[in-house]
Amino acid sequence: MQNSRYWINRIGISKTNLATTLVAIENAIELKEYGYICVTNSRTCYLANQDPDYRQIQNNSILTVPDGIPLVWIAHQKGFNEVEKVSGKDLMNALFDISVEKGYSHYFYGSTPETIELIKSNLKIQYPNLDIKGIISPPFYSLDKFNIDEIRKEINGLKPTFFWCGLGAPKQEQLISLLQPKLDITICVGVGLAFEYFAGTVKRAPLWMQKNGLEWMYRLIQQPKKINRSIRPLSWIVFKLLSLYLKK
């Protein structure tokens, strides 16, 4: 999984789609090759190219999946036509669908207490048999304030198959990269906005917008305070795409 990547400058994105991602995760569990997964969009791709520490986290994952159509378009321009978008929400749904059959269990960590309560009630309706080991809204700490050993004890005691981290990027990836080496049998995944989708506090873009690379616009309409942080990454990824198109 580590080596099957295409590169956007200095970050390696896994050559994957939802189906092959599920197979890779199932294989990792069967072989006890646990690690963490990054769900990467244009913004986090940009951040990784600016920050060497964050880039190392992304590149050392067992999977760094493309959660953004621009990343998929770049893959296709490079000749990797098997690559398709793998969003955090779609990945969670797909794993929840097979969890009872496979015996997978889950631990949710992040977001606000209000959002966590909504996730809990919505999951009980959508997936009544889902094995939820824990669902926690931690205090709004800076990374250095998290007690990694305390979280480790909790997770290793409960032994969930998946630790879903919804702290937002880059904090969630930074946290799971510190936590994962201390865990026994758990895969960590940073899924950010997916927590809000499950809670219903943020609505997902219509499918046609998702397929045409306009999901970011729909998000910003609902969360306009995030416009400033999105402008530079979007400009950066558009430039990368145009450069590839012009080379052909």
Going by pLDDT thresholds of 50, 70 and 90, the confidence category of residue 214 is: low
Query: How far is the C-alpha of 108 from the C-alpha of 194, rounded, in Å?
Result: 11
Going by pLDDT thresholds of 50, 70 and 90, the confidence category of residue 242 is: confident
Q: What is the pLDDT of residue 202?
A: 81
Query: How far is the C-alpha of 140 from the C-alpha of 162, rounded, in Å?
Result: 22
Mean pLDDT of 192-200: 93
Interstrand relation of 187-190 and 105-110 (parallel, antiparallel or unpaired): unpaired
- 167 alpha carbon, distance to own chain's centre: 11
* Least-confidence region, from 46-50, 175-179, 187-191, 210-214: 210-214
What are the two backbone dihedrals, phi and then psi, of residue 135, each rounded to the nearest 5 degrees? -150, 105
Q: What is the pLDDT of residue 223?
A: 64
Q: Which two tokens stand for residue 150?
A: 């305390």
Residue 164: pLDDT over 70? yes
3-state helix, strand, coil in the chain (%, to 5): 55, 15, 30
Going by pLDDT thresholds of 50, 70 and 90, the confidence category of residue 126 is: very high
**Which residue in this structure is represented by tokens 């069967």?**
30
Q: How far is CA 128 from CA 31, 125, 194, in A?
A: 29, 6, 19
Going by pLDDT thresholds of 50, 70 and 90, the confidence category of residue 234 is: confident
Residues 6+ positions from 123 with CB-CB distance below 8 Å: 96, 130, 132, 198
Q: What is the pLDDT of residue 215?
A: 72
Q: 10 Å Cβ neighbour count for 35? A: 19
Coil, helix or strand for 15? coil
Q: What is the pLDDT of residue 150?
A: 97
Q: Which two tokens stand for residue 140?
A: 């709004």
Residue 229: pLDDT over 70? no
Residue 58: pLDDT over 90? yes
Amino acid letter, residue 131: D
Residue 52: pLDDT over 90? yes
Asked if 155 contacts 136 with a C-beta cutoff of 8 angstroms, the reply is no
What are the two backbone dihedrals, phi and then psi, of residue 220, each rounded to the nearest 5 degrees? -70, -30
Q: What is the pLDDT of residue 226?
A: 63
Mean pLDDT of 35-42: 97
